Amino acid sequence: MKKILVTGATGQLGSELSVLAPAFPQYKWIFADRTKVTLDNLELLHSQLETINPDIIFNGGAYTAVDKAESEKELAFKINHLAVELIAKYSTEKKVKLIHISTDYVFDGASSIALNEEAETSPINVYGESKLAGEIACLKENPESIIIRTSWVYSTFGNNFVKTMQRLMQERDEINVVNDQIGSPTYAADLAQAMIDIIGSAKWIPGIYNYSNEGEISWYKFALSIKKLGGYNCKVVGIPSSSYPTPAKRPSYSLLNKEKIKTVYNLNIPGYKKSLKKMFCLKI
């Protein structure tokens, strides 16, 4: 029985994988939070990997506090770059299959067409820089690894845009949401299923892949979809990013082209409205 190690087990993706895991008893699942797999302590991390001795690693653990990363650059790079480098090196030495999760924030947002895996990377914040460094190190240390770039992740678990909107729309009469950042959300449960589909596939084609739900929208339009599904009376006002300054800049356009992952692994990617509705229907 192959053993799958899931890092970042208490995060959105890790939590969704834990929901799906019982349906796949052919694998032994090891869900590791930061105490079991310590990404900010490299010496300890290596010994932890040796102890767990996995056959497959889903590396979803990361430093994801985008704004905080601007003032915690060293920690962001330790977790998103150096720990990834170590995991990739370990996976090569032990012949472990590795799927590493990355982000649309490796792009600068200057594009006007959906970004494929060959698009030029040029991050505009520390978080994006650290994740790109992790990608480069991952492929250098383990050319047989798979990297999945994703965007705007949400889930019934953890903190995310959807849950924030649900709360604010019940608390306030009016909210402002930026309308000039374009992309597509990713329901973490869909991404989790895609990862399981990949390891269950008869083929393993290494490299970078994009994954998000289908649809091209702004955060404002996403908020309107949340309002409609929730039946909230709150007024949603679209505003430019310049009216909502944050420590870290965000890409203005980071829509991901998913043709590669759909073609190679024959994945059926749901539209964002369908997946959002699925989340709303869950009672957790």
Catalytic site residue 127?
Answer: yes
Task: Considering the candidates 63, 90, 105, 127, report the single residue annotated as catalytic.
Answer: 127
Please state the φ and ψ torsions of residue 111, each to the nearest 5 degrees: -70, 160
Looking up tokens 């977790």 gives 79
Q: Which amino acid, 4?
A: I
How close are the terminal C-alpha atoms of the chain, in Å? 30
Distant-in-sequence, close-in-space partners of 1: CB < 8 Å, separation ≥ 6:
26, 27, 28
Q: Which residue has the tokens 């992740």?
A: 153
What CA–CA distances, in Å, run from 89 to 40, 58, 96, 138, 209? 16, 15, 10, 8, 20
Instruction: Record the tokens describing residue 271, joined without a space.
Output: 């539209």
Between CA 19 and CA 164 the distance in angstroms is: 22
Residues found in the chain:
284
Answer yes or no: are the C-beta atoms of 115 and 107 closer than 8 Å.
yes
User: Within 13 Å, how many C-alpha atoms sit on residue 99's CB side?
Assistant: 28
Q: Catalytic amino acids?
A: 127
